[in-house]
Amino acid sequence: MWLRLAIVAIGLSGLTCCSGWQNALDPASGDAGHISWLFWLFVAVLGAIWALVMVVLGMALMMRSRRIDDPLPSHPTHDRRAAWVIAALSGATLVTVLILTGLSFAGQRRLYGPREEAVTIRVTGHQWWWEVRYEEEDPSRTFTTANEIHLPVGQPVNIKLNSSDVIHSLWIPNLFGKLDLIPGRENQLRVTADRAGLYRGQCAEYCGLQHAHMSLMVVVEPQDAFERWRVGQIAPAPPPEDEERKRGQAAFLSQPCVMCHSVRGTTAGGRVAPDLTHIGSRLTLAAGTLPVSRGNLAAWIVDPHGIKPGVNMPMIKLEPDDLNAISAYLEGLK
């Protein structure tokens, strides 16, 4: 009974990985689908080889259980047959390895081959957040956001990868494989998302203390929704309308925050930390550590090191009224 329950539990635990917003086996693009196909092919071939080895091992163990009078028997015919079997298996192993290597190489050529892209994005890795810049030939349509990528369904996208400090690795399992972000070098990923949805990505290369809290959200949406989002992101920050947010803007601009952060449409022009122009419209805060809300914004401002130890954001002492007003102002930047 317990054995049956264990088998059922193991089977169900495997099914939990068959869907989700961060799952390489639930592809939402042709590239991820090709990776998934290669994965299942490797599993099938190597699983069959493992099963065959287990069968042969079992047969050998059963034969050894028999009593052998002569420990070193001489059977020339049997020895020649065994030599042929070993040679055939060695050849089959070589052919299998070459075929799998060739398929893997062909898959990489497909994934990283040149394509004509409709959207160009530059992603820069920092300790520990993602800078996302949408590039256009028209400079007025270029804008910067952070920790969130929006992609149009069915449109080829070119993602340029850079790092400002150490080696990072961008991995969005539902859309494409891993690729490193290396200081002083530019790598490129090309992807076409086939299915709208919300997907999670993360840094897949250990990059320091908060490596585990360096994720980003990817929103794949229809072309018209993507264009509306892009137009909204290009626009400067909306001016506050109510008195509390006006006080919050004045308090924010009078603090050292403006030395690191940028809010387009204001005097805040820092380039060291994430752009906050439309932070209120993002899904998460601090590279996926917290959902965006007024309370979480206030908690992050007051004690960023308590939430994300080792982060480069300094602690700033604020009066309670100023803290509430600033968090209200930032929440309204949509």
Q: Given the structure tokens 């897949």, which residue do they identify?
A: 204
The string of DSSP letters for 210-266 reads TGGG-EEEEEEE-HHHHHHHHHHHHSPPPPP-SHHHHHHHHHHHTSGGGGT-B-TTS
Taking alpha carbons only, the member of 78, 112, 85, 92 closest to residue 49 is 92
On whether the CB atoms of residues 193 and 17 are closer than 8 A, the answer is no
Say if residue 253 is in the same domain as residue 169: no
Angle 29-31-36 from CA coordinates, rounded to 5°: 95
Any domain includes 11 = no
This prediction's pTM: 0.79
Say if residue 262 is in the same domain as residue 191: no
d(Cα 212, Cα 282) in Å, to the nearest integer? 20
Q: Pairing relation of β-strands 284-285 and 187-192?
A: unpaired
Domain with 252, as residue range(s), is 243-331
d(Cα 288, Cα 286) in Å, to the nearest integer? 6
DSSP 314: P
Any domain includes 13 = no
Any domain includes 259 = yes
Any domain includes 101 = no
Query: 30-64 and 76-112 helices cross at what angle (nearest 10)?
Result: 170
Q: Which of 189, 214, 233 is the last residue of a domain?
A: 233
On whether the CB atoms of residues 189 and 113 are closer than 8 A, the answer is no
Say if residue 198 is in the same domain as residue 161: yes
List, for the chain, all residue ranges whose pLDDT scores fall below the cut of 70: 1-21, 64-75, 78-79, 110-115
d(Cα 241, Cα 51) in Å, to the nearest integer? 69
Any domain includes 84 = no
The string of pLDDT tens digits covering residues 46-79 is: 888 889 888 888 887 877 655 656 666 666 776 6
Any domain includes 53 = no
Taking alpha carbons only, the member of 110, 133, 103 closest to residue 191 is 110
Phi, psi of 220 (to 5 degrees): -100, 125
- Give the model's pLDDT for residue 17: 47
Say if residue 178 is in the same domain as residue 229: yes
- Give the model's pLDDT for residue 36: 82
Say if residue 223 is in the same domain as residue 126: yes
How many structural domains are present in the chain? 2
d(Cα 67, Cα 221) in Å, to the nearest integer? 70
Any domain includes 289 = yes
- Give the helix ranges, DSSP H, for the chain: 2-15, 30-64, 76-112, 223-234, 243-253, 294-302, 304-307, 320-331
Say if residue 197 is in the same domain as residue 298: no
Say if residue 196 is in the same domain as residue 248: no
Phi, psi of 131 (to 5 degrees): -95, 125
Say if residue 256 is in the same domain as residue 190: no
CB atoms within 10 A of CB 152: 22
Say if residue 127 is in the same domain as residue 217: yes
- Give the model's pLDDT for residue 2: 57
d(Cα 80, Cα 161) in Å, to the nearest integer? 57
Say if residue 136 is in the same domain as residue 229: yes
Q: Which of 211, 233, 255 is the last residue of a domain?
A: 233
Q: Pairing relation of β-strands 119-126 and 156-163?
A: parallel
Say if residue 189 is in the same domain as residue 273: no
Q: Which of 208, 233, 258 is the last residue of a domain?
A: 233
Say if residue 182 is in the same domain as residue 147: yes
Any domain includes 318 = yes
CATH of the domain at 304: 2.60.40.420
d(Cα 179, Cα 161) in Å, to the nearest integer? 8
